[in-house]
Structure 1
Amino acid sequence: MQLSTHDIRHRWIVVTGLFFFLAINFADKALMGLAAEPIMRELGLTHTQFGRIAASFFLLFSLSSLLVGLLSDRVKTRWLLLAMAVVWSVSQAPLLLAAVPTTLVMSRILLGASEGPAYPVAIHSLYKWFPDAERTLPTALLTIGAAFGAGFIAPVITAIILYFGWRAAFLALAVVGLVWSAIWLAIGREGPLESAGDRAPGAQVAEAASLEEKIPLRVLLLSRTCLGCNLSGFAAYVVLALSTIWLPSYLVRVAGYSLMQVGWIVVLPAFGQMVMAPLLGWWSQRLMKRGVASRHARGTLGAAAVVLSGSALLLMPVLPPGAGLIAAVTVGFSLASFAFTTGVALAGEVVPASQRGGVLGINICLTTLAGLITPAVMGQIIDVAGDALTGYRLGIALAGGFAVVAGVASACLVDPAGDRRRFACLASTCARIGAIPTTFVRNTHE
């Protein structure tokens, strides 16, 4: 299917709307880390207690990613995105009435439930506007939106916290979310490429999504590509959780920076993401146009980003405050997120369009479990270590080592072309015993 001139123009308006959607989403995530020190001080929380409160954000995050992801195969993404933005804005209101640990936990749980499906649904919406061969770059732009929210808004949030208190920062982001909702109501609509079989002329990637019949969900989830992408995505989310929850405190407690200085330092990883995500996305698409298999153009490239990120985290505990530490922070917390871009693009190659929203939701559900585990584990490590500084350093080092191992394993696993061949073989076998309609076999081999 060829897009009209109007559709080609409007799809970039949609990309802009989704960019700011994810920017607000990640600003909400980053706020908890930036406000960690005043919250712990005012509420009298230990690191373990704060880690558990921060982790409560992810209590329903993964489950809602799964459920809303499955729902996105049946409900227009325009309305799902609008509903999420309204709910996450309203969820922050109770903190203005009673800022106590219980209220904070309930607010974070509701916020996490409404923000959990944001990325997969935004990607599902995006893919209705771009054929497979053109998806890597716009997907990278959405990743930049997340970086913009997590980093470039940080100095503003920090200033609000310092001058007006951390409650005012929550209120400001709630208002911004409602403003976005009003704008999206005017510009948001569904893309014309409902079938992922719509590809740009000359596209080299043959999507499994061109199949008319569904592939068993278990087969999709246990494919090498999904397993590899989920492994690197889980590691990348460990890094993301550390960045949004514990990195500001690390820079204050271990490196001795002031909260205002930290607000500017965390801009650097965001800037790194905003530079590297489109650059790596462009490089990935260029490699594919030159005939490089997506296993390497997407899979190996995304896994390498996770490995480099983990290596930088391993260096952080041994570096003194200064340029070296800031460089390690920038590299460590800017590269791993590219695995999210390559992960959804690779899933788009092997997952039928009619199942894409659900599978993306399940994959996000699995990878974001890292958000539930990491903050609490890090808080526990800090409290049980001989001293807080040792705990901070140990936690960062363990996360870095895990990212290196996971990235290497992911690069070895990802194989979209091989998975499509296995799906075709399975379809042929099942058709012979009458388990799958013959139309599935015919379409698989076309």
Structure 2
Amino acid sequence: MRKSYPAAPARIQSPARPHIAGSRLRWYLVLIILLAAVTNYLDRANLSIANSTIAAEFGLSSFQMGLLLSAFLWPYALANLPAGWLVDRFGPKKMFAWAAGGWSLVTIISSLASGFGLLYAMRVLLGVAESPFFTSGIKVTNAWFAKEERGLPTAVFNTGSQIANAIAPPILTILLVTLGWRSMFVVIGIVGLVVLLVWLKMYREPEAHEQQDLKTQGEMATGDTPGISRSWRSLFKERSTWGMIVGCFGIYFTVWIYLSWLPRYLEQERHLSLMNTGWIAAIPYLAGIIGVLVGGWISDALIRKGVATIRARKTVIVGGALLAACAVAPVPFIHSTFLSVLLLTLGYFGAQLPSGVIWVLATDVAPPGSVGSLGSIQNFGGFIGAALAPVLAGLILDRTGSFTLVFLSGAVMLLVGAIAYGLILKDPIPEMAGQRNE
């Protein structure tokens, strides 16, 4: 018999609520986070765009290049565990600022690399520096938006990664061709420092009375406000946590095959020039922008129509993963460049439908006060998969010289992600450790 939990308190109408609901500042904050996400992902994508150039300059094999491409991902995944707790503890303003300043400086220093060693070390530090960013973002939307509103703003700033992925191939390729890869790194780092200054000037927490109004209505509070909290270690004992870890692992695995190896695939398998690769690689990423927004909108719309919150989020996540798997699996067997790019575009659109929803799901599943921790734990699982993807793809390419098994492994992992979110994740995590749904 399933144990019942008390219903959330009825929404209380107060003078504070209309003010926060109508505040333009919260959307300005979402815009700043969006801009930061664009620069954040440009810092990640620069190595993928310069893949062939750096490999030739340093004499690297595909496996060594895979190690470089994943050097960011392992520390990023592991650093997410303490980063979530730090965001819950110190709040999004401080941790966002630390992250943006750190990743910008590391990117600039990377331009000084003269071989594999320093570049690898800087990619490791980049992973550590970026780890608090997206968790800080969901803490902001969690504080400023009601539950049925959070899907869209979370999706909006998550489109930053897709915007960056879309503009990275043409823009970074132009910088690479005209200035060289080192100057390309410096330009991206400077842009990040500018975003940091804007954030420090603009950000503030909701007023104290608005925070109290949100808590009264059963909403979550920011990291600086007391709330019901679980230690991040105890969260690992929950079934729903593992559904999120495994599910995110499967989806991010395939996303990072795209991010790490799509330009190389277009050059090697489709015999496109470097410049043409830059433009054509942008097409799936443009579809990804639409996918993130559509996914967030659908999940919020389902909730407004009365669908249970977690079911609404899971519908988008599972549906997107299944769509992506069906599109990616046939790619190795298609001879037409046009059709292969079309399928890759559809696959990436499907893989990005869950992108913003995965993050907002943490606010629906976690106890108040543990949103950052659970979001980071989920992201930890995702980026373990992301870290494995470039290395495994590099090994496959060295052994077979073909992308066939690369795309098939991506399709399988998407199915794993759909199953984990669909069947393992069931209920919200209870507020007290040891409390169970029966």
TM range, smaller chain: 0.7 to 0.9
More divergent stretch after superposition (392-401 vs 138-147): 392-401
Cα deviations by residue, 1:295-321 (Å, 9 ceiling, x for unpaired): 431112211101211222211111124
Count of residue correspondences? 419
More divergent stretch after superposition (299-308 vs 399-408): 399-408
Cα distance, 1:41 vs. partner? 1.2
Question: Could you state the TM-score of these two structures normalised by the residue count of structure 2?
Answer: 0.88
Match of residue 321 from structure 2: 306
> What secondary structure, in the 3-state scheme, does the structure 2 residue paired with 1:257 have?
coil
1:281 to 289, 292, 296: 296
Identity of aligned residues (%): 25
1:153 corresponds to 2:164 = no
Asked if the contact 1:25/1:115 (under 8 Å) is kept, the reply is: yes
More divergent stretch after superposition (340-349 vs 220-229): 220-229
Segments of 4+ in structure 1 off by > 3 A? 191-200, 205-225, 422-425
- Write the letter of the residue equivalent to 1:29: R
Match of residue 393 from structure 2: 378
How far, CA to CA, are the matches of 1:233 and 1:36 in structure 2?
Answer: 26
Asked if the contact 2:74/2:383 (under 8 Å) is kept, the reply is: no
Cα distance, 1:108 vs. partner? 0.7
Asked if the contact 2:326/2:411 (under 8 Å) is kept, the reply is: yes
Cα deviations by residue, 1:97-124 (Å, 9 ceiling, x for unpaired): 3331111101111111111222122212
Match of residue 25 from structure 2: 10
How far, CA to CA, are the matches of 1:89 and 1:218 in structure 2?
Answer: 31
How far, CA to CA, are the matches of 1:415 and 1:206 in structure 2?
Answer: 21
Cα distance, 1:38 vs. partner? 0.8
How far, CA to CA, are the matches of 1:362 and 1:195 in structure 2?
Answer: 27
5+ residue gaps, structure 1, are: 430-446
5+ residue gaps, structure 2, are: 1-15
1:402 corresponds to 2:413 = yes
1:327 to 337, 342, 350: 342
Cα deviations by residue, 1:209-240 (Å, 9 ceiling, x for unpaired): 99964446555434343333322211221122
How far, CA to CA, are the matches of 1:187 and 1:212 in structure 2?
Answer: 25
How far, CA to CA, are the matches of 1:184 and 1:33 in structure 2?
Answer: 28
- Write the letter of the residue equivalent to 1:238: F
Match of residue 113 from structure 2: 98
- Write the letter of the residue equivalent to 1:240: V
Match of residue 238 from structure 2: 223
Give the alignment of 1:176-325 within 5 angstroms. Answer: 176-192=191-207, 198=215, 213-215=228-230, 217=232, 220-325=235-340
Q: 1:199 to 1:232 in 2, by over 3 A?
A: farther
> What secondary structure, in the 3-state scheme, does the structure 2 residue paired with 1:2 have?
helix
Q: 1:217 to 1:69 in 2, by over 3 A?
A: closer
Asked if the contact 2:104/2:190 (under 8 Å) is kept, the reply is: yes
- Write the letter of the residue equivalent to 2:34: F
How far, CA to CA, are the matches of 2:308 and 2:135 in structure 1?
Answer: 24
- Write the letter of the residue equivalent to 2:435: L
Asked if the contact 2:154/2:356 (under 8 Å) is kept, the reply is: yes
More divergent stretch after superposition (156-165 vs 318-327): 318-327
Match of residue 365 from structure 1: 380
- Write the letter of the residue equivalent to 1:261: N
Match of residue 435 from structure 2: 426
How far, CA to CA, are the matches of 1:316 and 1:149 in structure 2?
Answer: 24
